[in-house]
Each structure stands twice: as C-alpha cells, then as structure tokens.
Structure 1
Amino acid sequence: MILSVIVPFYDEEAAIEPILRRCMAAVEELRRGRPDLAEVEVIAVDDGSRDASAERAAAVPGVRLVRHEKNRGYGAALKSGFAQARGGWLAFLDADGTCCPLSLGGLLDKALAEQLDVVIGARLHRGSKMPAFRVAGNRVFRALVRALGGAEASDVASGIRVLRREAYEELSPLPDGMDFSPAMSARALLDPALRLGEAPVWYDGRVGDSKLSALRDGLRFVKVILDAGLVYRPRAFFGWCAALLSAAALLLFALPLGGPEAPLAAALRGSADEWMYFRVILIAVFVSLAAFLTALGLVAQSLVGVIHRGRDGALVGPGRSAALTRLFPAVGSALFVVGLAANAAPLAAYWRTGHIAHEYWLRPIVGGVLTAVGIQLAGFWVAARIAGLVWERRRAGSPP
C-alpha cells in the first residue's frame, strides 16, 4: 500500500520548506507500526508562485516537485498532485504549517479500521488556534450540510484529509479554487455510495499571510455546498425553500405587519376590507410557490435516484419520494375540483351582472391558487412517472 501526500503551495516562501521537511521526517513514523504501508511519497505542487517558494521546496531531499507555469488555484494544484501520485491512498495538507503531517497516520488508521472512503482532519476543538471568524464560517458550512440531510461532520472545509483514490475519482470533477475541500466534503457526506469520517487534528497558527478571502471564498463555499445539495438531496433543498415561503405566508396572514390588523383577525370577524387585497394576493403567491417547490423537490429526488448508486452498487431509486408523488393525481384532482367549486358563485354572479360582488373578492384568489396547484401536481406526476419508468429500465439492466 502506498500513501501519496500532496502539499499544494502558492507564495509560501516562509512556510514551504519547514512543512516539507516535517513531512519527510514523518515518513518513517507513518510507516512504523503499519506493515501494510509499504511507501509514503511526498509531492509538492507549486501553483505558479511569484516568490522563491519553488526553490525552497526543491531544496528538500525526497520531495517530488510539480510546477504550474501560472497560478491556477488551490484545487487545480491538488488535482495535479493526484495525477502524479502513485498511491492507492491519497492525502493532502496545507503548506502554511497549521497542521502536523503526523496527523495523517491517525486519519489513515481510522479509514482502514472503519472502512471509510474519506477521513477529514477535524480542527474545531479545544486547543485549536483557528481564528474566530473562520470557526464561525465553518459552523455555518456544517449547518448547511446538515440541513441538506448530510451525515455529521464538524469541519467540512478542513485542509488535511486522507481518501481512497477510488473515492477521489467518484467525487470528481471538483473545483479548481479554494472551494475544492468543502465541495469534496459536501459530496462525500451526501453521496450514498461513500462513507466519510473525521478525527481530531492539531491546528496551529499559520506562517505568513492567508490567501483565503473570508467573503469571496466563503460565498463560494456556500455555493458548492448548495450545488451538492441539488445533485444529491434536491428534496431537502427545495423543501427548505418551500418551508421559508410557507412561514412567510403564515406571518403575513397571522400578524398585522403594518396593516390595521392581521388578516386572520379580519377573517374571523367576517370582514373583507380593501387593504387586505394585496396582502392576500401575496399570501396566495407564496403558498402557490411553496407547493410548487415541494412537488419539484420530490420529483427531482426521484430523478437523481435514477443516477446515484449505493455502496453495494445498486441504484438508489426514487425511494420515499416515489410514494409521495403517487399521491399527486388524487391530491391535484381534489384541489382542482375545490378550486372550481370556490369560483362557482363568483363566476355565476359575473355571468349575471358583469361584475363580481365585493363579498366574493377572496374566492377567485383562493380558487385560482387551488386550481393552479392541482394542474402543477398533474404535470409533476407525469415527470415522476417518467423517472420511475427509467429507473425500472435501468434496474432491470443493472448487474445484481
């Protein structure tokens, strides 16, 4: 077994030589007590440094140096290192001196003992010297992954980890920038075919200035996590959007929010004042969108189930989403009929008089929303049915 350790760097003149010497000093220690580990190779990747970083790295005996002519990004540097690596197990750590290379041994042991595909070095613990703003950011990223239904992981943006080469290939393509690590973590946590774990590692203060932009890279981290949610757990992604819209509709209905009173209170009194018109239309729009996004999430989850496979190699399939989408025709038909019924009296009045009386103003809004949602559910049921038929075809042709 070969472990390939990749150390990407860009303008790390003060830090790169010490961390590479620490890596080379750790090689024998990593092999000690691990008879299956035949070799540990260290590959440093210069991502187009403008200072003397590459010369400092080349001065460390035993390190294989890969160079980019120009700066291509943190993730691109790691990809170049992985392409040159000979190991079936891949590892990487940042070049800034924050993490100890000896920590890789514990990560590898955990991966082998628990048959994990990716093991992250968890830096968020007592004794960690991570700056407070980065701790806060990591907690936000962790909460996002958990909200999307991912497994537990405290440090999704960690820059030290060990993974199987097969897992890296399964997770590819990954971004070229600083969002490489959170993208890998989010996909590994959400992919049903992969298992991710973590183990605590020491985290010290960095040498030199950080290349990470809290705002720009933080937004990129959020984007790649949400992208992973769309690919693996669209039901959760759209479900949260629908929940926010539903909550907004409820607040608009139950609270005054600048109006003379809450629409709920007016409805209980049987009043229908003109100031409520816009509010009720807005509530109807939010409710309609919430229903649309809920149905979209269920259908999208059915579709991704046709693509993804579990650890046993079998197709995941639509799962629970299929059972819910089978209710769409009945629920949609009922809503459509109720919507037409709600509009019966206003339409009759309009037919007779050419206008709709004031007491009927609410019914066209409610009836219109119900009939629209009913039609949407019918359309989504067709899409879900297509996903089910494709899954049956693929399952029939899949190896047992």
Structure 2
Amino acid sequence: MSFNKLSIIIPAYNEEKSIGLVLDRIREVHLIRRIEKEIVIVDDCSSDATATTINGFMEAWPDMNIRYFRHDINKGKGAAIHTGIAAATGEYLLVQDADLEYDPSEYNTLLKPIINGHADVVYGSRFMGGNAHRILFFWHSIGNAVLTFITNMFSNLNLTDMETGYKVFRTSIIQRIYLHEKRFGFEPEVTIKMAMLPGIRIYEVGISYYGRTYAEGKKIGWRDAVRTIYCILKYTLFNNKIIVDGPVSVTQHKRENKTLETV
C-alpha cells in the first residue's frame, strides 16, 4: 500500500526545553517511499516559552510544512490531540509527544505494517523488541502492565503497551471516532473504540523509550491511572457512541473549542 502524506500531531504543554529538539529530530527523518510530512503542533496554552520556540523554528525552517494551533485555555493532552486529529490532512496520522521520550527516527518502523498493506492502526510498544529502554520506575511499569491487561480483557486485544505515546491511525477512521477524554484518558478510550470497529487491523512494533523523571517534566500521575480504569469500564460497559455522523472539519472544531491557528 502507498500513501502520500503522514500528519505528525504534537500536543505540547510547557515544553520549551525539548520542543525544538523534537522538531529538529523530525526534520532529519526521511520517510520511506518519499512520504510527505505534515507537522501539526497543538500548544495547550503553555505558560513558558514553548510558543516562542515553535515560532522561531517555523521562521528558520519555512519549508517544513508546520501548522501551529494554540488553545486559549489549558484543556489537557487528549484535547490537544483532538484538535490535531481534526486538522490532519494526511492519509495517516501519528501522535508524537513534545518531549524526548520517543525517537522520531523510528517512524519508518511504525509505518512498515501499513506500507506492507497489513495495518490500519499501529502501536509502538515499549515492552517488546530489543531497542533501548531507559530504566526508571518499577511501579510505573507495573501500572502500565495492569492497565494494558485490563484493557485487553475488556476489548479482547493482546496489546503489550496500551499507554504508549506512539500510535499511528488511518486518518479517515480516527476522524470519525467520537472522542471525549480530554486528558490521558485518550489512550484507553481510543484503544477500546478502535477495537470495537468491525474489521479493524491493529498491529504493534517494538520501539525505544527514553523516559523522563518528574524532575525532567513528566506529567502523568496516579490520578490518571485511576481515570484510565474508569475509562476502560465506561467505554466498554456503558459506551453510547463510537462513530460520529461525518468527518469533523477543522473549521468546526475551531469554532466549538475556540482554538486559534497561527499561519
């Protein structure tokens, strides 16, 4: 299978220290089969110099096809991803965190199951393969394993890493999924709703992981884990809506969420 454009969605909140480095890494990546890159940055009302860094990078590299959106108020990572999904114009889209925990040089690894005609959705797993993994928190790894296990139990999947930050979706599918969660609940919600679609083909590939400590800017906490369990139960046992009536246009999304785009 061939496609022409990959939309790279970057949700960012107070990432002045890393956002420029992430964009540099993305700039250096050459996608297989000459696939074009579209970078959609969604600044979730950062209070530091994130916006200044992004605008400086856009001025320095005007040919990188970067589109910059900024929320008027802080809404959460999931809400930023929603904005990016609505704005994406590539046939496939990929979520890239604005920190340095995930390596853009592995984009082609994520794309191979799609290029080979096997996948509609690809998850990058931190817990499979022989790539580099930073050794960090024991209880975080146990928490990730438990949350993935519960998600698998309710969705009948066999994922190894539901909470991964690297997910690739066919844009025409993800733009029609009704997504509600505004924070880290995005991960279980989108996984469960994707699993409910008839005929969906979900793959996993092993990726590297260069995790951060809380002192280095990590934001997820135990409350998010509790919310994740709530979301798993909510969207499997009490789910009311999966598919929206039609693709959500970026114009509609901007109007409903008062999101501004910097051209």
TM-score by length of 1: 0.53
Q: Which residue of 2 aligns with 1:179?
A: 185
Q: Which residue of 1 aligns with 2:110?
A: 107
Bigger Cα Rg = 1
Q: Which residue of 1 aligns with 2:56?
A: 59
Q: Residue 155 of structure 2 contacts residue 192 of structure 2 at CA under 8 Å; is this kept in 1?
A: no
1:308 deviation in Å?
8.8
Q: Residue 41 of structure 2 contacts residue 84 of structure 2 at CA under 8 Å; is this kept in 1?
A: yes
**Residues 174 and 18 (structure 1), Cα distance of their counterparts in 2 relative to 1, 3 Å cut:** same
Q: Give SS of 1:204's match.
A: coil
1:162 deviation in Å?
0.9
Q: Residue 99 of structure 1 contacts residue 160 of structure 1 at CA under 8 Å; is this kept in 2?
A: yes
Q: Residue 110 of structure 1 contacts residue 116 of structure 1 at CA under 8 Å; is this kept in 2?
A: yes
Q: Which residue of 2 aligns with 1:128?
A: 133
Q: Which residue of 2 aligns with 1:45?
A: 42
How far apart, CA to CA, are the structure 2 residues paired with 1:58 and 1:82?
Answer: 21
Identify which of 155, 161, 165 aligns with 1:159.
Answer: 165
Structure with greater contact order relative to length (CA < 8 Å, sep ≥ 6): 2
Q: Deviations over 1:19-77 (max 9, x none)?
A: 11111221xx11xx415x2x111121110001111111222223322111211110111
Q: Residue 88 of structure 2 contacts residue 171 of structure 2 at CA under 8 Å; is this kept in 1?
A: no
Q: Which residue of 2 aligns with 1:86?
A: 89
Amino acid at match of 1:219: V
Q: Which residue of 1 aligns with 2:235?
A: 228
Q: Does 1:188 align with 2:194?
A: yes
Q: Give SS of 1:102's match.
A: helix
TM-score by length of 2: 0.80
How far apart, CA to CA, are the structure 2 residues paired with 1:90 and 1:167?
Answer: 10
**Residues 99 and 308 (structure 1), Cα distance of their counterparts in 2 relative to 1, 3 Å cut:** closer
Q: Residue 177 of structure 2 contacts residue 242 of structure 2 at CA under 8 Å; is this kept in 1?
A: no
1:97 deviation in Å?
0.5
Q: Does 1:141 align with 2:147?
A: yes
Q: Residue 178 of structure 2 contacts residue 242 of structure 2 at CA under 8 Å; is this kept in 1?
A: no
Q: Give SS of 2:210's match.
A: coil
Q: Give SS of 1:40's match.
A: strand
Q: How does 1:220-259 map to 2 (within 5 A)?
A: 220-230=227-237
How far apart, CA to CA, are the structure 2 residues paired with 1:203 and 1:144?
Answer: 22
Q: Give SS of 1:59's match.
A: helix
1:161 deviation in Å?
1.4
Q: Deviations over 1:172-204 (max 9, x none)?
A: 224111111221122223433422111111101
Amino acid at match of 2:188: P
How far apart, CA to CA, are the structure 2 residues paired with 1:308 and 1:225?
Answer: 14
Higher strand share: 2
Q: Residue 190 of structure 1 contacts residue 229 of structure 1 at CA under 8 Å; is this kept in 2?
A: no
Q: Residue 104 of structure 1 contacts residue 161 of structure 1 at CA under 8 Å; is this kept in 2?
A: no
1:122 deviation in Å?
0.4
Structure 2: tracts of 5 or more residues without a match = 244-263
After superposition, the CA RMSD in angstroms is 2.2
1:150 deviation in Å?
1.5
Q: Which residue of 1 aligns with 2:223?
A: 216
**Residues 99 and 140 (structure 1), Cα distance of their counterparts in 2 relative to 1, 3 Å cut:** same
Q: Residue 82 of structure 2 contacts residue 179 of structure 2 at CA under 8 Å; is this kept in 1?
A: no
Q: Deviations over 1:212-245 (max 9, x none)?
A: 11x210011111112232157xxxxxxxxxxxxx
Structure 1: tracts of 5 or more residues without a match = 233-303, 310-400
**Residues 227 and 174 (structure 1), Cα distance of their counterparts in 2 relative to 1, 3 Å cut:** same
Amino acid at match of 1:89: Y
Q: How does 1:1-400 map to 2 (within 5 A)?
A: 1-26=4-29, 29-30=30-31, 33-35=32-34, 37=35, 39-60=36-57, 61=61, 62=64, 63-125=66-128, 127-129=132-134, 131-206=137-212, 208-213=216-221, 215-230=222-237
In the alignment of these two chains, the number of paired residues is 229
